[in-house]
Structure 1
Amino acid sequence: MVTISSDIATSSRFRYAIAICTRLLEVPVISASQSRMARAALNMGVREVAEAAGVSTNTITRLERGEELLPRTTADIRAALESAGVIFLADGQTTDGGPGVRLAK
């Protein structure tokens, strides 16, 4: 696993690169339930995630309601949660289930 400093992880170029790679690879960024699970695991509120991702609290709420966001916005939120210490698991990466979240070591 690669560790990325918070300065890099919060830069707009890094978040843009993540969004482009996600789009090119056609990898789902994160689901509404993964966002809620990640926040719970990190004990972060909507305001804290929004500030870390550089988006509004309404944007986090929209994501967690299941509304579709721009890929770049979702990538920004994912990058913020990952830099805070979670790893997102795709469908099939867990023993018995769909997409999930776990804490990084």
Structure 2
Amino acid sequence: MMNVTKPYSHQAIEWINDLTGQRECRVCPRPITGWGPTLRHHDEAVRQATIDPALTDAAEDAVLVVTRALESMWTDTRANDHDRARVAVQALIDVGAIAPRRRWKIRRLFRAAA
């Protein structure tokens, strides 16, 4: 498990390194991870997403389900954000929080952190 740091003094700006093909910060040559509001440096803590007050109870239940699923997930050095997302989505499907359809309405639960 890696140590995470407080947010950097600058917001990560995505840039693809032509030599390595890796996603890096344009400001500093450090690897980045995440997309959209969760875009951050690889060793930077994730900024908290704000939850719509009307959906707080449902979101807290979903957070509890996902937390339990991630705690029980076997991880190694090859596990990445995509693997953790698959575990989280499968846990939500298992408890019936989301239905496995072609279109999911998940975005309404979270707004980008301001």
Q: Does TM, scored on the shorter chain, surpass 0.5?
A: no
Structure with greater proportional helix content: 1
Larger radius of gyration: 2
Which structure has more RCO (C-alpha within 8 Å, separation ≥ 6)?
A: 1
Structure with greater proportional strand content: 2
TM-score normalised to the size of structure 2? 0.28
TM-score normalised to the size of structure 1? 0.30
